[in-house]
Amino acid sequence: MSVYDIPPEIWNIIFALLPHQAILSLNSVARMFHHLSLPVLFYRFTFRPALGGLRVGSRQFQRELQRLEFWSSEHIAPHVLTATIYLLGIITSSSPLTNAVFKAISRFSNLRNLAFRFSQRIDVSALPLDHPAPLATLRIDGGSLFQQAEALPLVLSVRHFVWTNISAPVRGNGISQSSFLSILHPDTLDSLELDFRRPDSIDHFSDTTAMHSFHKLRSLLVIVDLLQSDYGPILSAIASFPAIEDLIFDMRGIASAETPPSPDIISRVIAPHLHRYKGPANLLSMVLPGTQPINLSITFGNPASILQALLRLGQSADLSRITSLSLSVLLYTELCQGAVLLDLLARFPHLTRLAIRILSDAAEFHTHTSSDTLDGLVNILTVPPMLRDAVLRFRLVRKADENLVPRVETLIGRVRQVNPRLNVIFSNLSGDFWGF
C-alpha cells in the first residue's frame, strides 16, 4: 500500500495532529501533501494591523494589502473557517485598509466563525456578513453599532452570537432606536452571550419586538453588574424566550449576588423548559418556578442561601430531576461543622454528579485537622443515594489550610466502604464541564 491508497479522511486526522512546522515541511514534499496541508495551515485568519505607520501608501500599508490579497486569493480563501478582525486605534470603518479587509472576508466562502473587536462606531451594513451559509458564531467586542436610516433592513443568520462591552442603544432626537439584536434572524439563532456591564446597555432588552422573535433560542449567557442594573429588564426578556434551556448569569460584583429578590418577580414562570442553570443562589427563586431542571451550578451563595431560595420555591419547581449540582462551601464552618449542607443535599434524591469548591474560612481554626475534613467529606458524599461522581476542588488561601486536605487514597477508601461505585476526583482545573 502506498501513501496514495490511504483515504483523505485519514490524512486529515494525521495532519491535524502534526506540529505546525512539520506541516510546513510536508507542504513542499509532494502535490498531494500540499493540498492536504492547506486546510490545516489556513483555517484561521487574524487581521491585527499595527496602530502606527498605516497611512495610505506607506510600506506597512502596502504590506498589509499584499497579505490580504494572498489570504483572499482563490487558492487560499476557501480554506478559511475562522476569522478574527481587530479595528482599533486609528483604524476606521471607512478607511481603505478596513474596506480591503472587509472585501477579503467576503471571499471566505466557507467561513464559519467571525469575530470583530472595535473601538469606534461601525455601520453594521458595511460589515462583511453576507455569506452563502449561516455563520456558526459571530462575536463582536466593544464599539458602537448603528445602521443608516436609509439602508435596507439587515437580517443576519447566525447560530451563536456574542456581544461584549455593549454600549447603550443608539438614540436619535431623544428616541431610542431598535436594538442591534433585532437584525438577528430568529429561525437560526440558537445561542446568545451578552455583556451588559456598561451603563444603559441593558436597554437593549427593552426592545420587546426583538426579544419575542427569538422563539428558537436555547442558550443564554448574560454578564451583568447588578450595582448598575436591576433584575426586572433581564427577567422580562428571558420570559420572551419560550424555548430557553441553558441559562447562565455571570454576575460581576460579589456583593450584589446576595441581594434579596424583589417579591413581585418571585414565582413567575420565566423559563418553563429550563434544563441547566448557572448563576447566583439569590436568583433561583426567580428563574426556577415552573421548571424541571437537570443541572444546577451555583456560582455565588453559601449552602444556607441556596436552601433558603429552594424553600421560597416550595412546590413551584420540580427538583426531583436534578442529577448534577455544583456549589462552593467553606472548609470548616460549612463542610465540617454545618448541618445545612447535609439538609441541602438531602433535597436531591437523584443526584449523580456533585462538584464542590472548598474555600478557606474567614477566620483560622487551629483545632481543625485533616481528620475533621475527611469526616465532613465522607458525611456529605454519602447523603445522595445515587451519587456516582464527585469532583472536589480546594481553593485555600492560607498555607496552613493545605495541611487540612486529606489524602486522596484515604478519602476514596473511606467513601467506598459506604458507596463502592462512587468515583472521587480532585480537580485543579480553573473551569470544566462540572460547572466550575
Q: What are phi and psi of 124, to 5 degrees?
A: -65, -25
Asked, for residue 377, whether it belongs to a domain, the answer is no
Asked, for residue 32, whether it belongs to a domain, the answer is yes
User: 402 — alpha (psi -120 to 50), left (phi > 0) or beta?
Assistant: alpha
174 CB-near residues (< 8 Å, 6+ apart): none
Asked, for residue 391, whether it belongs to a domain, the answer is no
The total number of structural domains in the chain stands at 1
pLDDT of residue 278: 92
Lowest-pLDDT choice from 56-60, 178-182, 351-355: 178-182
Length of the chain: 436
Structure confidence at residue 208 as a pLDDT band (50, 70, 90): low
State pLDDT tens for residues 324-375. Answer: 999 999 988 888 877 899 999 999 999 999 999 999 888 776 678 888 888 8
C-alpha cell at 384: 445522595
Asked, for residue 225, whether it belongs to a domain, the answer is no
Task: Check whether 210 has a pLDDT greater than 70.
Answer: no
Task: Check whether 415 has a pLDDT greater than 50.
Answer: yes
Share of the chain above pLDDT 70, in %: 75
The answer to whether 317 and 284 have CB atoms below 8 angstroms apart is no
Residue 4 domain boundaries: 1-41
Most confident of 124-138, 165-179, 409-423: 409-423
CATH number of the structural domain spanning residue 9: 1.20.1280
Asked, for residue 393, whether it belongs to a domain, the answer is no
Q: How far apart are CA 353 and CA 334, in angstroms?
A: 20
Asked, for residue 397, whether it belongs to a domain, the answer is no
State pLDDT tens for residues 100-148. Answer: 888 889 899 899 999 988 777 666 667 777 766 678 999 988 766 666 6
Most confident of 219-233, 236-250, 264-278: 236-250
pLDDT of residue 387: 92
Asked, for residue 254, whether it belongs to a domain, the answer is no
Structure confidence at residue 99 as a pLDDT band (50, 70, 90): confident
Q: For 212-239, what is the mean pLDDT?
A: 73
pLDDT of residue 257: 43
pLDDT of residue 174: 40
pLDDT of residue 434: 43
Please provide the DSSP assignment of 202-251 as one string.
GGGGG-HHHHHT-TT--EEEEEE-TTT--HHHHHHHHTT-TT--EEEEEE
Asked, for residue 431, whether it belongs to a domain, the answer is no
Average pLDDT, the chain: 78
